[in-house]
Structure 1
Amino acid sequence: MEYLEFKISCKPEFAEILIAELAEVGFDSFLENEAGFEAYAEENNFDRSSFEEVIERYTQVAEIAVVEGKMEKVNWNTEWEKNYDPIEVGDEVFVRASFHAPKPGVTHDILINPKMSFGTGHHATTFLMLTHQLNLDHKGKSVIDIGSGTGILAIMANKLGAKEVQAFDIDDWCVENGNENFDLNGMSNVRMGLGTVREVNPQGQFDIVLANINKNVLLDEMEVYETLVKPAGHLLLSGFYDHDVEDIEAKANSLGFQKLDQKVKDKWTALVFEKKG
């Protein structure tokens, strides 16, 4: 599988919003640098017209320059070692790679050795989802993580006492990496599935459904999520900017969900919904 690589330079204050915009049109990996960031999209799924529309909209105001290339899908560990900082949620959660030392006194130590890269914005959504999880009772609950990526949220659910954890992703590297990370965190009984939520077709209902993806996918799949959440169960969503909350909330409300909580970090947002019993 080949990836298209776009080296994008821009004014610093526009990097986060551009990453957010590109995440909504099919880009799934970002690497920030001093000039701006690098963005990656699978060649087979690349929507050039949507990409060009985003770039054209911001070109003048953000002083954008783009250099396009192509690369084979590679292991990202080296880049992570240069660019990835641990994710800390107070003294409760510390998400680290193997090259980071443990943090003394932390309640939940999550060890991740990533094969894929994501941008700072995605750190924000992970942070927000972890924070919501800490505020939600997982003990004895069934949890499914949709678009699990490196598996961080599924691992958090397990550490919080979930009795059943399922996870899947559309990317085969994420599946391989997620299973490695599950093993690192004592979850060899959990294996990540491959495919979209419709392709995987999870059976039964869950107490907690997690989905940290992007606005377009969430809106498209929300009706499926509704079938997966038990009455009085919870749906946690992230991967979108604060200006998208109205659209996400309207769709969720139409399906019988009520918003319980909302958190924002660096303009990224994560929402908690409860399904009406």
Structure 2
Amino acid sequence: MSSTKYLGYYFNVSPIQPATEILIAELGEAGFESFVETENGVNAFIQKEDWRQNILDDIYVLNSDEFDIQFTSEEIEQVNWNKEWEKNFDPIIVDDLCSVRAPFHDKPNTQYDIVIEPKMSFGTGHHETTHMMIQHLLKTDLTHKKVLDMGCGTGVLAILSEMKGAQPIEAIDIDNWCYLNTIENVERNGCHHISTYEGDASLLSGRNYDIIIANINRNILLNDIKTYVKCLNPGGKLFLSGFYTEDLDMISEECLSNGLSFVRNFDRNNWIAALYDLK
């Protein structure tokens, strides 16, 4: 029996974010089926039978002056994805309290141990924004709080919320792969209070929450902050991330104009995760 042949594309990306996230999303739409993020960018894989000559022609980030992206490619035999993850996905520990790891990692001695299979989804905890959102949640009393994880990615923030006593929890992502991956990871971690939906902020009409987590990007946040505020209960908290240090004033101005008060922010490698309260 002949093995499936793949083409591997190896991208070096500068600046690495947000270009890598955009690149992965666009390549996924083009037919690439697996990705491994690296220190310099991302490795992307597609079955040879799904490849076409002009497959990269419509990839926006490759033609954008904002980013410098170089790549090489090669034909390879069938990929052992478990080995790829083992080589490239190390477990992380946040504030000695929360671990995020793959099923093949040893279980660490942490209060909150999250096991995920990231596949094509975002939110492994390695990216600065997810790491900081975990830090925020670790400092927050979530007991019996109704939580929304908007742009849930792998579902890691929703899962941590349940581990900290939140319920019910809703996790939403516009990307089908993220939606399916969150369902899988919710089940893997034995969570029973998380409902997962595929879509965007248009799903939020008539819903209300004590805490909203939105780790997306600046433009979507600026567009949707009004919607989030309408959904927040009095005294509710809004956690926002996915934007840079230079964008904090713009985000805060929009939050303040919608009745929110700035509480605190974390910063990590020029990324920001900020907390706002609704009085």
Q: How is 1:122-271 mapped onto 2 (pairs within 5 angstroms)?
A: 123-198=127-202, 200-201=203-204, 203-271=206-274
Structure with bigger helix share is 1
Matched, 1:48 2:71: no
Q: How is 1:11-90 mapped onto 2 (pairs within 5 angstroms)?
A: 15=14, 17-21=15-19, 23=21, 27=25, 31-33=36-38, 36-38=40-42, 48=60, 51-55=63-67, 59=68, 65-66=70-71, 78-90=83-95
**Identity over aligned residues, as a percent?**
37
Residue 272 of structure 1 deviates from its aligned partner by 0.3
Q: Which has the higher contact order (CA 8 A, sep 6+)?
A: 1
CA distance in 2, matches of 1:77, 1:226: 41
Considering only CA atoms, is the larger Rg found in Structure 1 or Structure 2?
Answer: 2
CA distance in 1, matches of 2:169, 2:97: 20
1:243 partner letter: E
CA distance in 2, matches of 1:26, 1:254: 34
Residues matched between the structures, number = 250
1:264 partner letter: D
Q: How is 1:105-120 mapped onto 2 (pairs within 5 angstroms)?
A: 106-118=110-122
Whether the 8 Å contact between 2:174 and 2:200 is mirrored in structure 1 is: yes
Q: Any gaps of 5 or more consecutive residues in structure 2? A: 1-7, 29-34, 45-54
Aligned residues: CA RMSD: 3.2
* Structure 2 length-normalised TM: 0.77
1:164 partner letter: P
* Structure 1 length-normalised TM: 0.78
Q: Any gaps of 5 or more consecutive residues in structure 1? A: none
Deviations 1:240-272 (A, max 9, x none): 221221211111111111110110112211000
